[in-house]
Amino acid sequence: MKNYCVRLGVLFAFACISTAFAQGYPNRPIKVIIPWPPGQATDLAARMVSEKLVPVLGQPLVMDNKPGAGGTIGSEAASKTPADGYTLLAGSSGPISISPNVQKVPYDPLKDFAPICLLAVNPYVLVVNSSVPAKNVPELIALLRANPGKYSFSSSGSGASSHLASVLFNSMANVSAVHVPYKGSSPSVTDLVSGQVAYTIETVPSIISFVKSGRLRALAVSTAKRSAAMPELGTIADDLPGYEMSGWIGFMAPAGMPNELRARLSAETRKILQDPDIRSRFIALGLDPAGNTPEEYAEFLKRQNDRYASIVKQAGLKLD
C-alpha cells in the first residue's frame, strides 16, 4: 500500500509538472516554417490562423518561407529542428502525403512529425489559358489527344500535389503533354496566365482571381463533389469516372514535441477555426475549414498516405 501511494504521488507530481509546463508555454516567439512561397494556399491559411493565435499565446508567430522541391525542402528543415514547441510546420498534402510515395524524401512523413491540427481541405481546379480552344474537359482531352506532346502543363514542383493531380488526369485521359515544374503555385500560375504553358490543376486560391478576370478558364474541380467555392463548375470525375484529388493543410511539429504542448496548440487552433471570420475567409479562398485533435489528425495522415500510395501504384505515376 505504501509503495502504491508513493507511485501515485510520483504520477500526480509529474502531471502537475506537465500541466505547469504547458501553461508556461510559450515564453518566446514561435517560428512557423512554410515550405512554399508567400501567397500559396498553405501560406495564406497558416498566416490567418497564426495571426489569431498571437493574442491567445501571448507571443509572436514568425513566418519562415522555405520553398522548393515541391515543399520537401522546408519540410525537411522543420523535421530537423528541436522538438520543443518553438518550431511548427505548415504541413500540406504534397510533401507529406504524396511526394514520399513517388520519390525518396529525407524524412519519414508519419514518424518524423507530430500532428497538431488539420486547418483545411482544399480542392483543385483544372484551368487553361484563355487562348486554349477548349471550353470543357472533353474538349481539352480531345485537343491533347489530337496533339500529343504539343501542349505543356505547369505545376508547383515535381512531386507536388498539383503535379500528381495533372499526371493522374493525363494518365486517366490517355493524353501526352510536357511537364513544366516551378517553385510554388504563384510562378506556375503566372506563366499559365502569360501563355507559356497551356493548363494546370491548381488550388482555388491560386487561380480564382485570374478566372474571375477572364485571364484563365476554369473547366472542372478535382473533388468527387462540387466545391462550395466554385459551385458553377462540374467535376473532372463527370468525364473521367473515378478521378479524385484534393489537398490538405495543417499544423505539425518535429516528432517528440511534448503531448501537453500539442494538445494546447490543437485546442486553441480548433477554437480559431470555429471563428466566423476565419471560416468566411477560408471559404472565400476556396478552403474548407477543418479542425481535429492530434490523434484524429494522425489517423487522417495515415489514411491519406495509404490512399495516395494506392493511387500512385494503380496509375503507375513516376516523377519526370
Q: Domains in the chain, please, with CATH?
A: 30-121+247-315 (3.40.190.150), 123-238 (3.40.190.10)
- Tell me which residue of 32, 34, 47 sits closest to 281, measured CA to CA: 47
Residue 120 C-beta-side C-alpha neighbours within 13 Å: 30
14: phi then psi, degrees, rounded to nearest 5: -65, -40
User: Tens digit of pLDDT per residue, the chain (320 long)?
Assistant: 555 544 554 444 444 444 444 568 999 999 999 999 998 889 999 999 999 999 999 999 999 999 998 899 999 999 999 999 999 999 999 899 988 998 899 999 999 999 999 999 888 999 999 999 999 999 999 999 999 999 999 998 876 778 888 988 998 999 999 999 998 889 999 999 999 999 999 988 789 899 999 999 999 999 888 887 788 999 999 999 988 888 899 999 999 999 999 999 999 999 999 999 999 999 888 888 999 999 999 999 998 898 788 777 766 666 65
> What does the chain come to in residues?
320
271: Cβ contacts below 8 Å, ≥ 6 apart? none
What pLDDT is stored for residue 6 in this prediction? Answer: 45
The three cell numbers of residue 185 are 503555385
pTM score: 0.73
* CA–CA dist 173, 120 (Å, integer): 29
* CA–CA dist 9, 11 (Å, integer): 5
CB 310 within 8 A of CB 299: no
The phi-psi region of residue 200 (left if phi > 0; otherwise alpha if psi is between -120 and 50; otherwise beta) is beta
Per DSSP (E only), the strands in the chain are 30-34, 61-65, 87-92, 113-129, 152-155, 178-181, 199-203, 216-221, 246-254, 288-289
138: phi then psi, degrees, rounded to nearest 5: -60, -40
What pLDDT is stored for residue 314 in this prediction? Answer: 64
C-alpha pair distances (Å), 160 with each of 39, 108, 167, 183, 283:
16, 16, 11, 10, 23
What pLDDT is stored for residue 212 in this prediction? Answer: 93
166: phi then psi, degrees, rounded to nearest 5: -70, -40
107: Cβ contacts below 8 Å, ≥ 6 apart? 72, 75, 76, 79, 113
What pLDDT is stored for residue 17 in this prediction? Answer: 42
Q: Are strands 216-221 and 113-129 parallel, antiparallel or unpaired?
A: antiparallel
CB 115 within 8 A of CB 298: yes
What pLDDT is stored for residue 19 in this prediction? Answer: 47
Amino acid at 181: P
Q: Over the range 116-138, which residues count as b (16 or more CB within 10 Å of their CB) and which as e?
A: bbbbbbbbbbbbbbeebebeebe
- Tell me which residue of 22, 53, 31 sits closest to 119, measured CA to CA: 53
